[in-house]
Chain A
């Protein structure tokens, strides 16, 4: 799997996640600030990861081979229509965040030492998604 393929997937996932949270912000106005913040984190991740790739890519990096053992299908976008109940939305969002964080960490491990600054950006993105998960978890009291 090439780095471009991974980057394109991450770009799509972060955009989709941001849209998902924007949808939740509209559906649950009482938690608007939290969902909007989650959407903002996803949007920032998308920019940071894309920028890191753009600024780091070089003919000498192992861009074609750093992710050879990974499977694309492990990160899935949640259904476009979020649940109507808050508990269901929280559960789905937490699952999404944990899954995204794990996938970022897996990518970072795979690219470690091979893609210069990109693994560090991936780890930061994972931390951001874990922070989202913690903030969402606080809703459950």
Chain B
């Protein structure tokens, strides 16, 4: 099928958006490359700490008026932004496909999720309300008031370049704070587009800022005394060893979401056709570059004899491998394509190394994604097909460590208890799914499993905008989560007033 028309016709020269103006950076410039074609589509600057400081100062100045803007007026800005995002829905989606490589349907899904965040945050007049109680002692009343804090920094990842910063940004500005978004330097274009729309929506200068960059800008954000909090989504080592401790040392609030190694349990009574369809999206959607992606598929033999369990495993391995082998790879702007490339060739090489290591360590190679074909004309450099590894055991590295690519590890557990123990032995706690028709098993799983996001017959347990995006153990560092009521509390201080009149 023909490719959809590209909204980017020439290489874009990206600039920072500071205090309502687009400003070129003096920093080094890097190419943003479309991984499906390996052609540059933009040039992004690695800004300097001085430029970050300019943005913080602008955001700090804007905060004074913005926090005094009535919540309903702030909501109207968000509603205008929402309307503009709807108008530009297809353009925003295609930009994501170009900058990241994901399929157009994945991008459209990401755009929809982003818009939902804005829609929910627009309910801020109700969401931000405090509470009160008369006569806490006779004649004395007490009030809880939620107040914004100031400037927040949002550091986005490459895997969901459009949506993830929107887990935080709409809630931050709705509550009266001002923001500095640092998009991933690998795919920063969609955040530029959002800032353009925010400007058109009428956000006052300095409320919504974008500063491109790398480690220097992140370091400057973490150390800046006027930034009150940081929202970060990225790898666990950075979240755990850099973001979280430095926010603690500088007194900042922090949401630091890290990596994952998610398990999907298939029980003997699962609806296999729908389970396999759900698993294709869960394991291979976004080319496996998703913190909610399942990576370990555990075939559970609860109530089965060893021979029956073995036969059940063989059946699932066959269905899963067959479905995975039918996935079409190609340029995400082709609507028939089911999987795009990884973000860049380096990431592909890293995943390929892990596949080789797993096979060397004893895993059975049921489907080798290192051998693949694409539909249409593509540069093969960053593509990797779905890989299915059989007979993986919990002690293998591929079962324990995050691969962040289209690799499924098939495992066996004799019982539900044993499968849950496998999940608990893993350091991550982002998500887990169970596929079953048994309410008792489902409840036990939901109740016992130490993971932030639980799927019952759902492969991607992605919380909606009005629920927190949870995470536990080495997948999350902080207290409150992004999205929903947690975000409102994260972006506001609770002030208590106790009042008596003489």
Residues from chain B with a CB closer than 8 A to the CB of A58 are: 109, 112-113, 462
In the complex, the answer to whether B109 meets A61 with C-beta atoms within 8 Å is: yes
- Name the distance in Å between A62's Cβ and chain B's nearest Cβ: 4
Which of A1, A54, A57 has a CB less than 8 Å from the CB of B336? A1
Residues from chain B with a CB closer than 8 A to the CB of A61 are: 109, 281
* Distance of A56 Cα from B112 Cα, bound (Å): 8
B305 contacts the other chain (CB 8 A): no
A80 contacts the other chain (CB 8 A): no
- Name the distance in Å between B483's Cβ and chain A's nearest Cβ: 14
In the complex, the answer to whether A59 meets B163 with C-beta atoms within 8 Å is: yes
Residues from chain A with a CB closer than 8 A to the CB of B290 are: 59
In the complex, the answer to whether A68 meets B323 with C-beta atoms within 8 Å is: yes
A114 contacts the other chain (CB 8 A): yes
B108 contacts the other chain (CB 8 A): yes
* Distance of A63 Cα from B278 Cα, bound (Å): 10
A4 with B89, Cβ < 8 A, contacts A59-B285, A59-B460, A60-B458 known: no
Which of B89, B281, B286 has a CB less than 8 Å from the CB of A62? B281
Residues from chain A with a CB closer than 8 A to the CB of B199 are: none
Residues from chain B with a CB closer than 8 A to the CB of A55 are: 112
- Name the distance in Å between B433's Cβ and chain A's nearest Cβ: 11
In the complex, the answer to whether B462 meets A59 with C-beta atoms within 8 Å is: yes
Which of B163, B338, B462 has a CB less than 8 Å from the CB of A2? B338
Instruction: Identify the interface centre among A57, A60, A114: most chain B CB within 10 Å of its CB.
Output: A60
* Distance of A60 Cα from B458 Cα, bound (Å): 8
Interface of chain B residues 125 through 165 with chain A (CB within 8 A): 160, 163
A57 with B323, Cβ < 8 A, contacts A2-B338, A4-B335 known: no
Consensus secondary structure, chain A interface = loop
B450 contacts the other chain (CB 8 A): no
* Distance of A61 Cα from B277 Cα, bound (Å): 10
**Which A residue sits closest to B458, measured CB to CB?**
A60
In the complex, the answer to whether B112 meets A66 with C-beta atoms within 8 Å is: no
B337 contacts the other chain (CB 8 A): yes
- Name the distance in Å between A47's Cβ and chain B's nearest Cβ: 15
In the complex, the answer to whether A57 meets B112 with C-beta atoms within 8 Å is: yes
B106 contacts the other chain (CB 8 A): yes
Instruction: Identify the interface centre among A55, A59, A68, A114: most chain B CB within 10 Å of its CB.
Output: A59
In the complex, the answer to whether B110 meets A64 with C-beta atoms within 8 Å is: no
Q: How large is the interface on B (under 10, 10 to 19, 20 to 34, 35 or more residues)?
A: 35 or more
Residues from chain A with a CB closer than 8 A to the CB of B51 are: none
- Name the distance in Å between B115's Cβ and chain A's nearest Cβ: 10
Residues from chain A with a CB closer than 8 A to the CB of B99 are: none
* Distance of A3 Cα from B107 Cα, bound (Å): 13
* Distance of A58 Cα from B463 Cα, bound (Å): 11
In the complex, the answer to whether A64 meets B326 with C-beta atoms within 8 Å is: no
In the complex, the answer to whether A65 meets B104 with C-beta atoms within 8 Å is: no
A95 contacts the other chain (CB 8 A): no
Which of B1, B160, B338 has a CB less than 8 Å from the CB of A64? B338
Interface of chain B residues 84 through 123 with chain A (CB within 8 A): 89, 103-106, 108-110, 112-113
B339 contacts the other chain (CB 8 A): yes
In the complex, the answer to whether B105 meets A4 with C-beta atoms within 8 Å is: yes
Residues from chain B with a CB closer than 8 A to the CB of A113 are: 274, 457
In the complex, the answer to whether A2 meets B108 with C-beta atoms within 8 Å is: no
Taking A2-B105, A3-B105 as given, write out 16 further A-B residue pairs in contact, using a Cβ cutoff of 8 Å, ordered by the A residue number.
A4-B104, A4-B335, A54-B89, A54-B112, A56-B112, A58-B112, A59-B163, A64-B103, A64-B105, A64-B106, A64-B327, A65-B278, A65-B280, A68-B280, A113-B274, A114-B278
Interface residues, chain B, CB within 8 Å of chain A?
Answer: 1, 89, 103-106, 108-110, 112-113, 160, 163, 274, 277-278, 280-281, 285-286, 290, 292, 323, 326-327, 335-339, 457-462
